[in-house]
Amino acid sequence: MQTGKTKSARYVQALYLAAISFLAYVSVYGFRKPFTVAEFTGVKYWGISYQTLLIISQVIGYMLSKFYGIVLISSMKKTGRWKLFAGLISVAWACLFLLAIVPQPWGMLCMLVNGYMLGFMWGFVFSYIEGRRTTDLIASALAVSFIFAGGFTRSVAKWLLIDLHVSQQWMPFLAGAFFVPPLALLIYLLERAPLPDEEDIADRSERLPMTKDDRRNLIKTYGAGLIFILVTYVLLTIIRDVRDSFMSNMWGELGHSGDYAIFTRTETITSVTVLAMLCLMMFIRDNMRAFRLTHILILAGLLIAGISSYLFRNGQLGGVAWMQLTSLGLYMSYIPYNCIFFERMIAALRLKGNVGFLIYLVDAFGYMGSLTVMLTKEGLGSGMKWTPFYSGAVVLFSLIGVGGILFSYFYFDRKYRSAQVSVHG
């Protein structure tokens, strides 16, 4: 185990790990999101568009993987991870090949399996970087990767469709092929990443595989707070995932269907802004102070998303500005859960566990909520446009989320103070 790293060496290592984890998850998105750009206009089954059925199928697979991932990711050992990583990605890519050749609507089954395979990827990548003094920086880069990746991989998809005239059926598979070589290299680099040293462990606590009893005890001790975290995160996942899945449709409704660069342009602005905010957390050594500030950042993001959506619905804000501000506010709230929130929670409260367990616990219910909302929208009428539906949902969910994050703040603050009193008598 490494010891005595200089501050400069620690930051150089952090930047290196941030770069490869960022690029690795961007590459993973190349197998996940390009297919959403293929709208299959006019193709419907059971009164629902084929595009929506494919997206719902993938979300079901993703949701199922999150429930199983509560056990798989939290109990995963450090050796041999790359073999499972590579195997799951290979199956996900094979599903995109089958999507191109099987008759409709059997592509739904392909996307269900694709989503299940890809649902474990976040936990795999995060397992290489958690439990370090510099995890805030590294994990922030990883977390903003899916903002940038969502836009970038869709731009690749639009480029294949518009400039190279690739068919909608084959575009997802060819988009995946674009990301195979870099992902293979990045998996290799992650596997060779140095482990946390003794100073990291002293500062952030050692991250160990969890047993069934470990998971049960954590939930028993902090159950009330976890419920409100869960409620807030479910709402954020719903509006994040609906935006991510139907972004192409909403931009089309706003008059930008032919501008494939708009995906990367708007999401890059959000990525850089949120990354800058989160990286500053690295300089806060006190874990509880950082945990409290993370709550405040999430609260601010909910207010930005909710207020901008309210103004848009009342004709006081343009469509492009609304999409940009909603993206910023949403990811200010959503991303901390995926990089800093649970990392600092474990460190501040000295919990026996790992980030993978907590993320997959809330993610499982988050994707269940996302699936429920997609089905509800279709039940209200497949002719209903996504823009008014989504903007209304953001206003409502932001209001509820504000209450949830405030409860979480005071609950864990009280738990921390009680623990400090016990320790110091």
Locate 368 and state its tokens. Answer: 């269940």
Residue owning tokens 């903007």 = 391
Report pLDDT for 2. Answer: 45
Residue of 249, 267, 265 lying closest to 257 (CA atoms):
249
Q: Which domains does the chain have, with CATH numbers?
A: 7-424 (1.20.1250.20)
Give the mean pLDDT per block of 10 residues along the chain (425 residues): 64 88 91 83 80 87 88 77 87 94 90 93 84 80 78 84 86 92 92 81 74 86 89 86 77 74 75 80 85 94 94 90 89 85 86 81 83 71 74 92 93 86 56
Q: Give the per-residue pLDDT at 412.
A: 92
Q: What is the pLDDT, as a whole number, of residue 380? A: 59
Q: Cβ distance 265 to 323 under 8 Å? A: no
47: left (phi over 0), alpha (psi -120 to 50) or beta: left
Q: What's the one-letter identity of residue 312?
A: F
CA distance 425 to 423: 6
> So what's the pLDDT on residue 275?
78
Question: What's residue 258's pLDDT?
Answer: 67
What pLDDT score does 249 carry?
80
Give the pLDDT confidence score for residue 338 in this predicted structure: 76
Residue 84 has what pLDDT?
A: 84
